[in-house]
Amino acid sequence: MTADTATDPSSTMVIRVVDPAATAHSRTGETQTGQSAGRRAGRGTESSHRGARRRPAPPSAAARLARRLAPVTGRLRPRYPRPGRTGWRRWVPSRRQWLGAAVVSVGLSGALLTVAYAATDIPNDLNTFATQQDNVYFWSDGTPMARTGWVRRQAMPLKDIPEDVRWAVLAAENASFYSDPGISFGGLTRALWRTLGEGDTQGGSTITQQYVKNVYLTQDRSVGRKFDEAMIALKLDNRMSKDKILEGYLNTSWFGRGTYGMQRAAQAYYGKDVGELNVSEAAFLASLLKGAGLYDPALSQANHARAVERWEWILDRMVDLGRLEKSERAKYTKFPEPLGQTQAYDTGRQSDYLVELAAQYAKKAAGISAKDFDMGGYQIYTTFDRKRETALTKAVTKARKKARKDSPGKAMTAHYGAASVAADGRILAVYGGPDHREQGFNESNATTVQAGSAFLPVVYAAALEHGVRKERDAPRTRVTSQSVYDGNDGIPVTTPEGPYWDRNGDKVVAHNDGNRSWGPITLHQALAESVNTPFMQLGMDTGLDTVRETAEAVGLLPSSMGPQVPALSLGNSTPSAIRMAGSYATFAAGGTHTEPYSVRRVTHNGSRVALDTPERRRAVRAEVARQVTAALTDSFRGDHPADAPASAEVAGKGGTTQDDTAAWYVGTNRSVSTAVVVYRMDLTKSIEPLPLKGVAGTPPADVPYGIWSSAMSPLG
């Protein structure tokens, strides 16, 4: 049809009928013809670029997997509204869809947990507070003396915790401990539900989880902390034995009364070590793990009732688990009442001085750093004798009261120091002051005042041991107890060149107590009567350097030695009471000296710690020690003839200073040496000693001797 005819209404319209099959065949032929032509036309190009043509890449694994899963995913793919359903059911997923979603969720959760487990590391640093313990000090007889530290905890090896005690805890807290993977899935679910619903994560923890919380994590209550706890618990359960986990748990758990661990709990509630607990007592302690504030009977009657109920349940539970015979269970019908709350073994007053001495010695002798020592866990077995300590403290306390009554003004500045040392070096007792919380420094260990005439035995021993030299470059000559010296008062001190002159150009002279002159006197008698002048000259003849060496050999510290001038022989050194007692103990030990020590054994959580204990060494010959002791025995007999039987091996002497600033008494009885010093010092104004003015008694050594005799009683 042309354009003209289309516009002419009178024209005739021709209609062509087309066969569809023919049309399709024609189109197919055209397509094939076109393709053939294309192939023919492209042959030249294909031939020219044959090397550049590549085969199509095979489908990826993901594509192949998707193709295979297409039928399944097609069925799982939601079609909404669902055909064949009416009402609200048209919008609810099918069972297949629910199942598919669950499978995917479980798979994703498993994958996430696997990744989280692999990424979780067990922390290298333990919770400091969870591992910190207290240090416990013991008397020489093995009974507890004191404890120190912020935390009452003493770790114990699992082998030292009875099996009944362990199973009482397992029955109460986690009966499946030895078979579970370290976590409780049901418990975790409950805990998470409580967290999301009520903000509380308590409940559902295994012992492994509780141990992880104690030593690696904080006590924060959150989903994140609970998740970390579970991951670490799983990994810890794979890396650590169940016994080690249980041991750690028993040593880090809180039991109330400020105690951590079964050992300190046993001591706090029953006054015994964990190894001495019976199953009934263990069942009560296990109940405290649920909350000591709710189960400590000492806090309230309601607590008592709860404790009894849970105690019975734990014992019954042990029977159900096959860990307690029914016949044994039948024996425990009465609740094992624990002790009332107490501050037993706390330090205070005299015990602080003892602890201070022992701690210093233990750290030095065992090579323990201050940091490690402060972390605790040490058991320090001291040399302190409880009876002697009590006697010494009582004697000094009595003297202090008397001084306050007789001379209240002077007594306010009076100080008393005392120490008892055995011949083998053990420090048996000390008096450090009225109360460590009021007076921090230890009088028994203080190098504060001069030794005075209590130093004379050292000069005597030096002369007997080494001899004297009265002329320059002349050989030394031997002296004996019967050697005679001038005992008159005011005689000048001489050297081989003549009189000894001081820096002021004055002759140095010696004086006796009361300026008494004794005339010619033997050295034995001079020591027995405490005559000063012979010993001042004897020191010069022996050599002040030799006197100093002998003093250090018998136990005095080099740092306490006075200036090397004639007054050295009259006691210008300032030894402590411990060192003075130790020097006299050397003479009682036949001339062998052992450095004073306050600790005989140290353990850390039950394991012995190597201790560098002092060794005995020869200070002076045995004959010299015997001569010194003989003179000291006569000194004691002369001053106190009725205080000891004739058979008693008691030796000692008083010591005074020329300026009346200190009074001593040092002596031995039955191989124990005790030194007592009394002096005055106003610490608010100066550290210079003040005149005693009668505080030490009349004669001046009267009060020190009274303390000494009471502490050493019975004499003989």
- Mean residue pLDDT of the chain comes to 83
Least confidently predicted of 125-139, 457-471, 614-628 = 125-139
Identify the domain boundary among 542, 573, 604: 573
Q: Which residue's structure tokens are 């569809």?
A: 20
pLDDT > 70? residue 118: no
108 assigned to some structural domain: no
Into how many domains does the chain fold? 2
Q: Is-contact 234 225, C-beta < 8 A?
A: no
Q: Which of 32-41, 365-374, 567-576 is predicted most confidently?
A: 567-576
Question: Has residue 529 got a pLDDT over 50?
Answer: yes
pLDDT for 528 beyond 90: yes
pLDDT of residue 344: 45
Longest dimension (CA), the chain: 182
- C-alpha triplet 537, 539, 541: angle, nearest 5°: 70
CATH number at residue 465: 3.40.710.10
The yes-or-no verdict on residue 685 having pLDDT over 80 is yes
Phi and psi at residue 549, to the nearest 5°: -60, -40
Per DSSP, what are the bridge partners of residue 604?
378, 607
- Angstrom CA distances, 528 to 239, 579, 629, 672, 694, stand at 74, 21, 10, 20, 24
- Of 709, 712, 696, 711, nearest to 642 by C-alpha is 709
Mean pLDDT of 649-654: 95
Answer yes or no: pTM beyond 0.75: no
478 is a domain residue: yes
Is 603 part of a structural domain of the chain?
no
pLDDT value, residue 449: 95
Verify that 310 and 172 share a domain, yes or no. yes
Residue 368 contacts by C-beta under 8 Å, 6 or more apart in sequence?
362, 378, 602, 609
With respect to residue 165, please indicate whether it lies within any of the assigned structural domains.
yes
Interatomic CA distance for residues 453 and 215, integer angstroms: 60
| Residue 716 within a domain | no
- Convert the pLDDT of each residue in 395-452 to its tens digit: 999 999 999 999 999 999 999 999 999 999 999 999 999 888 778 789 999 999 999 9
Residue 4 has pLDDT above 70, yes or no: no
- Domain closes at, from 330, 362, 397: 330
| CATH number of the domain bearing residue 206 | 1.10.3810.10
Q: Per mean pLDDT, which range of 27-41, 52-66, 113-127, 626-640 is the poorest? A: 27-41
- Distant-in-sequence contacts of 434-441, Cβ < 8 A, 24+ apart: 434/349, 434/400, 435/348, 435/349, 435/352, 436/347, 436/348, 436/349, 436/350, 436/352, 436/353, 436/356, 437/348, 437/349, 437/352
Q: Is the pLDDT of residue 65 over 80?
A: no
Residue 198: pLDDT band by 50, 70, 90 thresholds?
A: very low
Domain co-membership, 172 together with 304: yes
Percent of the chain with pLDDT over 90: 56
- 221 has pLDDT over 70: no
Q: Angle, to 10 degrees, between the axis of helix 185-198 and the axis of helix 223-239?
A: 170
Residue 572: name the closest of 455, 704, 458 by CA. 455
Residue 707 domain flag: no
Domain membership of residue 280 as a residue range = 155-330
Domain boundary among 556, 573, 590: 573
Report the run of H or E that residue 572 belongs to, with start and end. Answer: none
Spatial separation of the C-alpha atoms in residues 179 and 556, rounded to whole Å: 64
Assess contact for 700 and 660: CB atoms under 8 A: yes
The one-letter amino acid at 95: R
CA pair distance 489, 510, nearest whole angstrom: 7
Calculate mean pLDDT across residues 124-129: 53
Q: What pairing do the DSSP bridges indicate for beta strands 254-256 and 520-522? A: unpaired
pLDDT band at 7 (very low <50, low <70, confident <90, very high): very low
Beta bridge partners of 690: 680
pLDDT winner (highest mean) among 373-382, 582-591, 653-662: 582-591
Give the Cβ contact number of residue 308 at 10 Å.
Answer: 17
- Torsion angle, CA of 617/620/622/625, rounded to 10 degrees? -120
- Note the pLDDT tens digit of each residue in 476-485: 999 999 999 9
**pLDDT of 709 higher than 90:** yes
Q: Are residues 326 and 474 in the same domain?
A: no
Strands 617-618 and 484-486: unpaired
Residues 318 and 184 in one domain: yes
* 46 assigned to some structural domain: no
Both 317 and 463 in one domain: the answer is no
Please check whether residues 322 and 455 belong to one and the same domain. Answer: no
Say whether both 325 and 471 belong to one domain: no
* Stretch among 21-30, 321-330, 535-544 having the lowest mean pLDDT: 21-30
Domain-embedded: residue 408: no
